[in-house]
Structure formats: C-alpha cells, structure tokens
C-alpha cells in the first residue's frame, strides 16, 4: 500500500507507474483504492463508477477497470456533504459528520472487493487517501492504516519534496502514528525532486536514522505528468499555445469529469485556457462548459462571476459554445430539481442558449456509449454519468447518434451544442472532425497512444529512481 505523508504527494501517479512497471515484468497486477474522494469518475464495463485515477491505473495494468478497484467513491456536492458511491452504485448523500456512521459497513465492502480483486492476480498495489498522519480520523478509518491493518498490508510512505519540509513530513508522520501503525511502514520514498537528487542524500539518511525506515529512492519531477488524466481539480492546468485555436473553460466550483479536457490539452493545434473564478472569460474560438457535480450551485456561481454576460457576448460575436453533461444542462432555458437532489427543491433559469429544459431525477444514469458523429460519420466511444433528463425543440437537432437515435442538442445556427457524452474528445477522428468544422487547423494525432507511451515513460522513470527489487520483496510477491 502506497500512503502519503500529505495530500497530493503523487500517490496516484506512483501507483500508475508501479502498476505499469510490474505488469511489464510479467506479473498480473491490479490497482486498488478503498476510498477515493473525487468528482472525476469513470464508468466501468460492469455498469458502475470509480475514481478516474483507478481507471488510469487499470490501463497501466493492461486490464479493464472494475468497480472492485475503488469500492468507495465520495463525490463532494457541497462544502459539508458528499454523494457516497459503494461498489459502483450511489448509496446516499450524507453530511461529513454523519459519514462515520457508515464506515463499518463500508470497510466490509472494501475488504470484499479487495478479496475478489486479489483472487486472480499476483500483485495488488493499494493507494491510500490523504495521509495517515491525520490521526483525528484514525477511528473507523478505511482509507489508510485502518484498511492496511484490516487487510494486513505492508506500507510504503511517500513524501513530497516540492512543497518543502519533506523531512518533517516523514519523520512527523512516524511521530504521531500509533506504534502498530508505524510498524506497518517498511520503507519510504521522496517524490517530485527538482535538480540534482544526490544533494538530498544527507536528508535521506536523516529520515532513516530518525525513523528506522528504509529509503527506497528519490523520484525526480516527472515533467510529462500533465499528459495523464488528472485525479484532482487542483492538477488541471491551462495549456496556452500562441496562434492556436483557443478554447476557454470556466473552472466551475464542483467541476466533474474534467478529463474531457485532456485530449484537447494534449493536441498541439489547440490552446486550452482554464479560467478561474474572478476572471472574465477571454476572447476564444470555443467556450466549453464542463460537467458539474452541483449544477444549480455552479450555475449560480457562473452568473455571480459575470460569465453569463461574457458567454452571451461571445455568442453574439459568432463564437461557438459546447456544454457537456452539467454544462449542457446549464445552457438550456430552465433547470428544475423537484426532488431536492442538489439542495432545496427549486427551478432556476438556465443560460438560454439552447431551447431545452432539464429536470433532475434521483436515478443516476451510468453507461458506456458507442456513438457516431452525424456530420462526419466518425465513430467514438464515451460514457454517460448523470442524473436528469433534457428535452426540448433543440434536441431535434441531435448531433450524435447512439443505437440509431439522435442525441444531444444544437441551436438552429449550429454554434451552440450540448450532450451528455463524456470522453468524446478521446476519439481522434471525432476530435479532428468536430474542431475542424469550428475552424481549428487540425492534424491527425493519436491521443490513446500518447497516454500509453507516457505510462511507459513513467514506469521507466520510477525504475531508474526506486529500488524495485526491494519494493517487490516488501510486497511479498511470489513468482
């Protein structure tokens, strides 16, 4: 189990790289994260949802993602509440203070998933969440040492030197852990080092002397990490390129499934700008409104930022607009929540650029989808993950085809479009055809091959930096 001395130390990336490394050694490897908190989800072939990071890690292993790889997924909806997804399906929405009451039941689900996953592989690499140093959360813990103890796992602790204070991170973690938990840690590593790693040799020795743990290596900064789907909204970055086709993306407070942006950011013909709250939407060729976990609240914030005015001006100038999932819902005339799914029951005005109305509903729609771009005939594969139905005159101009039926909506002039399909831009032929119609100077690129190649380079990067033989011994792998 890879745990972190803090949040965002790079655990997801480390697990992905280790998965790819050991899979290339001929081992049957599987990723596992007992509890994840993210609004960036993936839909599995067995009809459930898991954290996007575990889907990437499954790809690194060369296997299909399964709901057992992430049995508990928390999807924040407010500052104090989250939707709880258990083994792929929505269980409930709970306040943070009430979540602890569910943990005994959730630990059982985590252990059952872990056992099933372990039955047909040689190695499971488990990712922790946050940090075990948060000892105020130790009682009933299912994310770090609580799960490690229940499943009897050895632990490797990762620290982040890029933030500074990595010695205190690692030594301080041991200082606050209960002796039994500290004894589970069989080694440590230092991640995200910039510069000459030999300069930190004394630091590694100090950590070993003060903790008794074995140093497994120093991992230099991996410059290509941005090419892989990000786990956390904090990791998404603008990719400005001079002279390229400009795409502006408002950064919603509860932005969801923002990996829709990854193929766009990776394409050298495109310039993607993530616009934070407080800044006006810039002049762009396309404004893309992404998914949201709390559509009504994000729509209110959209207006509070003045982005509705910017969007209207953009449309009047002849600009193009695309809404995906929650962004699609926002673009309509109205958005209603009669059952109070996102808060008190309400009906609010949408942005009015599409002649459609949306009603939220308790049942979540989860599906992998094969589709066809009506205009170009390009095939694509994506997924739907939403609660609600959208209808109205503009759906008669559905611009995607699924199982012989038109889906999505388009304005009469074709400059405003919406759909529920996530992952559509990962299809190279569709991405090129769609953006070329908007005036982008597109050329053929293979996004999937780029992700695979980046995973290979990440595995090589870790193999050069870490004592892989010792890590394999820690994991008690039997060949």
Whether 422 sits among the annotated catalytic residues: the reply is yes
Average pLDDT over residues 456-471: 98
71-85, 185-199, 291-305, 458-472: least confidently modelled range: 71-85
Question: Distance between CA 94 and CA 56 in Å, rounded?
Answer: 28
**Percent of the chain topping pLDDT 90:** 80
- For 377, counting Cβ atoms within 10 Å of its Cβ (0-12 exposed, 13-18 middle, 19+ buried), the class is exposed
Spatial separation of the C-alpha atoms in residues 390 and 35, rounded to whole Å? 32
pLDDT digits (tens, 9 = 90+) for 108-153: 999 999 999 999 999 999 999 999 999 999 999 999 999 999 999 9
Q: Give the pLDDT band (50/70/90) at residue 474.
A: very high
d(CA 89, CA 351) in angstroms, rounded, equals 31
**pLDDT higher than threshold 60 for residue 341:** yes
**pLDDT score, position 232:** 61
Residues 6+ apart with CB under 8 A from 476: 154
How far apart are the C-alpha atoms of 107 and 145, rounded to whole Å?
Answer: 12
pLDDT, mean of residues 280-306: 96
Task: Give pLDDT, residue 236.
Answer: 64
DSSP 274-326: EE-TTSPPPP-SEEEE-EESSHHHHHHHHHHTTHHHHHHHHHHTT-EEEEETH
| Beta pairing, strands 185-193 & 155-160 | parallel
Rg (the chain; Cα; Å): 23
Structural domains of the chain sorted by starting position, each given as residue range(s) with its CATH number in brackets: 2-227+453-474 (3.40.50.300), 245-440 (3.40.50.880)
Query: Residue 411 is encoded by which pair of tokens?
Result: 């304005």
To the query of whether residue 325 is one of the catalytic residues in this protein, the response is yes
Query: Which tens digits make up the pLDDT trace of 244-264?
Result: 899 999 999 888 888 899 999
Does residue 477 surpass a pLDDT of 90?
no
- What is the rounded average pLDDT of the residues 419-435? 95
Instruction: Return the structure tokens found at 474.
Output: 């820690």
Catalytic residue among 21, 314, 386, 422: 422
User: Where residue 98 falls among pLDDT bands split at 50, 70, 90?
Assistant: confident
Q: In this structure, what token pair is assigned to residue 165? A: 């204070």
Question: Tens digit of pLDDT for each residue in 381-422?
Answer: 999 998 899 999 999 999 999 999 999 999 999 999 999 999
Nearest by Cα to 342 from 383, 300, 303: 300
Alpha-carbon gap, residue 419 to 94, rounded angstroms: 29
Q: Which of 238, 237, 251, 247 is nearest to 270 (CA)?
A: 247
- What stretch of H or E contains 209? helix 201-211
pLDDT higher than threshold 80 for residue 478: no
Q: What is the pLDDT of residues 215-234, one digit of tens each?
A: 999 999 999 988 888 766 55
Q: What angle do CA 301, 303, 304 make, to 5 degrees?
A: 60
pLDDT digits (tens, 9 = 90+) for 313-340: 999 999 999 999 999 999 999 999 999 8
Q: Report residue 362's pLDDT band, with 50, 70 and 90 as the boundaries.
A: confident
* Predicted local distance difference test score (pLDDT) of residue 141: 95
**80: pLDDT strictly greater than 70:** no
Question: Catalytic residue among 19, 61, 325, 419, which?
Answer: 325
pLDDT-based confidence at 235, cuts 50/70/90? low
Strand partners, 220: 193
> How does DSSP assign 97-150, residue by residue?
HHHGGGHHHHHHHHHHHHHHHHTT-SEEEEB--S-TT-GGG-TT--SSHHHHHH
What is the pLDDT, as a whole number, of residue 231? 66
Residue whose structure tokens are 């269980």? 91
Nearest to 38 by CA among 4, 8, 17: 8
């Amino acid at each position: 189990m890879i745990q972190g001395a803090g949040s965002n130390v790079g655990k997801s990336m480390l697990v992905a790289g280790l998965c790819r490394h050991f899979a290339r050694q001929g081992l049957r490897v599987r990723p596992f994260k007992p509890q994840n908190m993210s609004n960036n989800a993936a839909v599995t072939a067995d009809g459930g949802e898991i954290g996007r990071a575990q889907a990437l890690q499954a790809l690194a292993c060369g296997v299909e993602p399964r709901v057992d790889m992430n049995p508990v997924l928390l999807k924040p909806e407010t500052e104090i509440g989250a939707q709880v997804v258990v083994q792929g399906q929505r269980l409930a929405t709970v306040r943070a203070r009430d979540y602890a009451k569910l943990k005994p039941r959730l630990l059982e689900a985590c252990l059952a998933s872990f056992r099933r996953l372990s039955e047909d592989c040689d190695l499971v690499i488990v990712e922790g969440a946050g940090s075990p140093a948060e000892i105020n959360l130790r009682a009933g813990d299912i994310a770090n040492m609580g799960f490690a103890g229940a499943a009897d796992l050895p632990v490797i602790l990762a620290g982040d030197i890029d933030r500074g204070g990595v010695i205190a991170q690692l030594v301080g973690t041991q200082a606050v852990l209960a002796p039994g938990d500290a004894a589970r840690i069989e080694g440590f590593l230092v991640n995200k080092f910039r510069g000459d790693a030999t300069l930190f040799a004394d630091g590694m020795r100090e950590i070993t002397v003060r903790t008794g743990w074995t140093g497994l290596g120093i991992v230099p900064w991996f410059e290509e990490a941005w090419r892989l789907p990000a786990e956390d909204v904090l990791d998404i970055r603008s990719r400005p390129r001079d002279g390229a086709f400009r795409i502006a993306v408002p950064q919603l407070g509860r932005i969801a499934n923002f990996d829709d942006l990854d193929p766009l950011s990776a394409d050298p013909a495109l310039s993607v700008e993530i616009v934070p709250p407080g800044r006006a939407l810039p002049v762009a060729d396309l404004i893309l409104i992404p998914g949201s976990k709390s559509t009504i609240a994000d729509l209110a914030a959209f207006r509070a930022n003045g982005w509705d005015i910017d969007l209207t001006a953009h449309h009047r100038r002849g600009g193009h607009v695309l809404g995906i999932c929650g962004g699609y819902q926002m673009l309509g005339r109205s958005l209603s929540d009669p059952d109070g799914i996102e808060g008190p029951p309400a009906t609010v005005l949408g942005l009015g650029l599409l002649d459609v109305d949306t009603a939220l509903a308790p049942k979540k729609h989860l599906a992998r989808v094969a589709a066809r771009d009506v205009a170009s005939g390009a095939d694509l594969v994506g997924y739907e993950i939403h609660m609600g139905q959208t209808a109205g005159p503009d759906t008669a101009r559905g611009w995607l085809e699924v199982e012989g039926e038109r889906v999505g909506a388009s304005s009469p002039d074709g400059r405003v479009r919406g759909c529920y399909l996530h992952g559509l831009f990962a299809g190279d032929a569709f991405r090129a055809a769609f953006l070329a119609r908007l005036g982008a100077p597109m050329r053929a690129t293979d996004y999937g091959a780029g992700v695979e190649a980046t995973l290979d380079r990440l595995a090589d990067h870790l193999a050069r930096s870490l004592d892989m033989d010792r890590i394999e011994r820690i994991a008690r792998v039997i060949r």
